[in-house]
Structure 1
């Protein structure tokens, strides 16, 4: 499970990079810029959820060993 979540985090980081390249910095709220902003926000949310999941698994393993 550890490798799977790490791979998903890297995929989310790659999506952030792709969406930043799509972003028009002069007009970020028009056209594809809005889609790119939504994609960046969604990728950040996915990374945050995956990090919380990894931390919860570490806590679960520590409690199980006690």
Structure 2
């Protein structure tokens, strides 16, 4: 399960990198730039959620020991 979580985090980072390359600084909320901002925000949310999942799994393992 740990490897799946790290794979999801890696894919989120890749999506952030791709979306940054699509951004237009002059018009960040128009066309593909708007979609890029949404993908970047969603990817950061995924990274935060996977971090919370990793922490909660480690706490659960310590509590059950």
User: TM > 0.5 between the two?
Assistant: yes
Shift of 1:26: 1.1
Equivalent pairs counted in the alignment come to 65
Please give the alpha-carbon distance, in whole angstroms, between the structure 2 residues aligned to 1:42 and 1:2: 21
> Given the two structures, how large is their TM-score scaled by the length of structure 1?
0.96
**Which residue in the other structure is 1:56 paired with?**
56
TM-score between both structures, scaled by the size of structure 2: 0.98
Q: Distance in 2 between matches of 1:40 and 1:64?
A: 36
Which deviations, in whole Å up to 9, do the C-alpha atoms of 1:10-44 show, x marking residues without a partner? 00000000000010011101111100000000000
1:44 aligns to 2:44 (yes or no): yes
Structure 1 portions without partners, runs of 5+:
none
* Structure 2: 5+ residue stretches without partners: none
Aligned partner of 1:5 in structure 2 is 5
4+ residue runs over 6 A deviation: none
